[in-house]
Structure 1
Amino acid sequence: MTSPTESGPVLDAASPLPPEIEAADEPTRVPLAIEDWATVLIMGLLACITFANVLVRYFTDSSFAWTEEFSVFLMILLALVAGSAAVARDRHIRIEYFAESGSMARRKRLAQFGAITVALLFLLIGALSVRVVWDDYRFEETSPGIGVPQWWYSIWLPIVSFAIALRALGLFIRRGRKTNYGDSER
């Protein structure tokens, strides 16, 4: 172990993460482990599908037809789930110069404005994508690669969009309650 002044903070043997990373997640009503485990499962599924396709292609000079279509779907779902985790953890993109300058009241208002803007955007995306899912179902659209019903893929856009909106609303509420926004970063 090194001292905090030599090469960073001293790590506790019981904690594998540095204190600033370990304390990064704020308490939420809905556990953040949902997005974490969904990310792990999606990444694992992507790795298995890709590995199986590589093996089949190597040994047979052909590939599974469904892997590309399903992998693209999983990557899109992964981006949405990761977006939900980023919103819940308040790790979304922002211009730090504006977000972390000024008074605490200004920083709090900017954080709330960002959270409510994200919530409104994903509520709109969710509402509009419900129509897309309905059209896919009603017109019996099939996927271009393997011919499964298209709504099997598109149903996840409104579900995850509404989840992101709810996470953003939760962030808005937490930022409204927080009295010392931004002090820990300074």
Structure 2
Amino acid sequence: MEKVISRLEEWIVAIVMAVMSTIAFVNILSRGIANYSLSFTEEITINLFVLLTFVGTAIGVRQNAHLGFTLVYDLVNDGLKRVITLFVGLMMALLFGVLLYFGIQMVLFQIQMGQKTPSLGWPQWWFSLAMPFGALLCLYRTLQVTVKEFREHGVKGGQSL
């Protein structure tokens, strides 16, 4: 299951980047050759960027690639490292949980109101699903990394604390 989710994240990022790059390239050619801007593509690109940001964040959490200030963390013993790990994991889970909750509320509201995108007239919730979907991926990765890191600092000499 872990490999499937990892591959899904990577494929989403690759496809979204390819689509965004293609749209930007076609828009540049359109402006340069035909002197005509494809302005409707902007709303697709902006909304895909939201998806790219959330899925990229989930990949970053999975790979421990997020920025961190570790001066205090590196100086303390394993017991305090576990406390810090748990605290940071809980704060991240809280953030992504809030984003998930409000993302779902936003999508439900857009469905209820029948909100459409300005240029294309597509249902706005199609694009807005990126927020709860991405927050769910980030929440999953946060819990996964927190548990892994917590367990690593609980092991001394092959025995659990």
Number of the residue aligned with 2:2: 30
Per the alignment, residue 58 of structure 2 pairs with 84
> How far is 1:180 from its partner?
7.3
The CA RMSD measured in Å over matched residues stands at 1.8
1:46-80 deviation digits (Å, cap 9, x = unpaired)? 11111111111111111223211111111111111
TM-score (structure 1 length as normaliser): 0.75
Kept after mapping to 2: 8 A contact 1:65/1:146: no
- CA shift, 1:99, in A, is 2.9
Match of 2:127 in 1: 153
Deviation of the 1:33 alpha carbon: 3.0
AA partner of residue 173 (structure 1): V
Looking at both structures, which has the greater relative contact order when contacts are Cα pairs under 8 Å and sequence separation is at least 6? 2
Picking from 140, 144, 153, the partner of 1:179 is 153
Identity among equivalent positions (%) equals 23
| Equivalences, count | 153
Q: Secondary structure of the residue that 1:90 maps to in structure 2?
A: coil
Q: Secondary structure at the match of 1:93?
A: coil
Q: Distance in 2 between matches of 1:162 and 1:51?
A: 32
Tell me which residue corresponds to 1:125: 99
Q: Hey, what's the Cα distance between the residues in 2 that align with 1:178 and 1:96?
A: 16
Query: Which structure: greater helix fraction?
Result: 2
Task: State the AA in 1 paired with 2:31.
Answer: R
- Return 5+ residue gaps in structure 2 as ranges: 156-161
Amino acid at match of 1:30: E
CA distance in 2 between partners of 1:170 and 1:109 (Å): 16
Normalised to the residue count of structure 2, the TM-score between the two structures is 0.86
Q: Distance in 2 between matches of 1:154 and 1:58?
A: 32
Shift of 1:30: 1.5
Q: Which residue of 2 aligns with 1:69?
A: 43
